[in-house]
Amino acid sequence: MIKKPKLDSIREDFPLLDQKTYLDNAATSLSPKPVLNTFVEYNEKYRANIGRGVHHLSKMASHKYRQAHRKVANFIGAQEDEIIFLKNTTEAVNIVSRGLEWEKNDHVIVSKMEHHSNLLPWIRLEKEKEINLEFVDIRKDGSIDIEELENKVDKNTKLVSISHASNVLGTINQIQKVGEICDKIGTYFLVDAAQTISHSPIDVKEINCDFLCFSGHKALAPTGTGALYVKNKIQGELAPLVVGGGMVEDVSLQDFSVKEGYDTYEAGTPNIGGGIAFGEAVDYLSDIGMKKIENHITELKDYLVRELIEISDIEVLYPNSKRIGVIPFHNRNVSSHKVAALLDQEDIILRSGEHCSQPLLKKLGYNGLLRASLLFYNSKEDIDNLIRAIRKY
């Protein structure tokens, strides 16, 4: 019987936490020892290409890689053949923007809070295909304006692409409500779940989305891993971004046919060890329990917000809003990069700057912000370390 990890002893699996106060989890999470061991094990014991050999190493690698798809699918309530492995969320959004058929004046809606990865592909599409790109504003609580979205979605709307939670503000959007709006009209709905995947339970059926994407490296997995969920019934409507070895059923000198399921979209040799470790990462999260993780992060972020607002020179954005463990704040007297550099000297790691969301920062009127982002392996002591250091500056 596998012993489930406990939150009170979890830090033992993350050696870097013995040296640093790590509060930059929205940029990338840390990988625990079981995930690192899984990656090393592939390279040391059964490194081989997948789906290309009859020898036992290839069979073992192929089995574990396919099993990883199943694990990631189960983690978000999907079926195995609905999960495509790729590099990250950025690649996933680009696959959708390039893979659907577009006509002039097709209507696409995104929000003004989006990360550049869920913004640039649609801006490029507007320039190349002359689609009609519209933006939904954010409300006073830092979430998207659902009423505005509902008013803008019509029979010409081909796709709505919204982040589950802002990577800058941490505020949570009502994506289930967005799913209902899109379903009523018959509009494609894409969810960027990069920031929420390791914070709270996600079920694609409850959300009722057509596409959902996230990066493995924000969910304990190695960098260069990610997943795109594509609802089974619409997979034939999405053309593969890349064609080549591994995804073909039959080839002649004039034409080719492709395999069904996720193989269609995974041409070439993938990040096999990373993908297998990705499966181990979601197992690790599942063993702890996503509801338990969500509750722990909620307690920590509430504590951090309370402590930050007590510091006179600090402004916390949307302090009372519903959010994940991502807290943006601003020192009224010192630039964000300078504060982050000073904190780094005390081994406190957090993000500063524009956070790959320049339009949102411009709208809010900031040149840069500090962002503390928490995960389940963070502790009250981490927050106390941060608060003590901030009070010095």
The Cα-based distances of 30 to 13, 246, 312 in angstroms read: 10, 31, 32
- Return per-residue pLDDT of the chain as tens, 393 residues: 334 556 767 999 999 999 999 999 999 999 999 999 999 999 999 999 998 888 999 999 999 999 999 999 999 999 999 999 999 999 999 999 999 999 999 999 999 999 999 999 999 999 999 999 999 999 999 999 999 999 999 999 999 999 999 999 999 999 999 999 999 999 999 999 999 999 999 999 999 999 999 999 999 999 999 999 999 989 889 999 999 988 888 999 999 998 888 889 999 999 999 999 999 999 999 999 999 999 999 999 999 999 999 999 999 999 999 999 999 999 999 999 999 999 999 999 999 999 999 999 999 999 999 999 999 999 999 999 999 999 987
For residue 380, is it left (φ>0), alpha (ψ between -120 and 50) or beta?
alpha
Domain spanning 37-287: CATH 3.40.640.10: yes
How far apart (Å, rounded) are the C-alpha atoms in residues 2 and 207?
31
Distance CA 155, CA 379 (A): 48
Q: What is the pLDDT of residue 51?
A: 85
Three-state secondary structure string covering the chain: CCCCCCHHHHHHHCHHHHCCEECECCCCCCCCHHHHHHHHHHHHHCCCCCCCCCCHHHHHHHHHHHHHHHHHHHHCCCCHHHEEEECCHHHHHHHHHHHCCCCCCCEEEEECCCCHHHCHHHHHHHHHHCCEEEEECECCCCCECHHHHHHHCCCCEEEEEEECECCCCCEECCHHHHHHHHHHHCCEEEEECCCCCCCCCCCHHHHCCCEEEEEHHHCCCCCCCEEEEECHHHHHHCCCCCCCCCCEEEECCCCEEECCHHHHHCCCCCCHHHHHHHHHHHHHHHHHCHHHHHHHHHHHHHHHHHHHCCCCCEEECCCCCCECCEEEEEECCCCHHHHHHHHHCCCEECEEECCCCHHHHHHHCCCCEEEEECCCCCCHHHHHHHHHHHHCC
Task: Compute the residue count for the chain.
Answer: 393
Active site residues: 356
Domain ranges of the chain: 7-31+289-391, 37-287
Q: Do domains 7-31+289-391 and 37-287 have the same CATH topology?
A: no
In this predicted structure, what is the pLDDT of residue 3? 46
7-31+289-391 placed in CATH 3.90.1150.10: yes
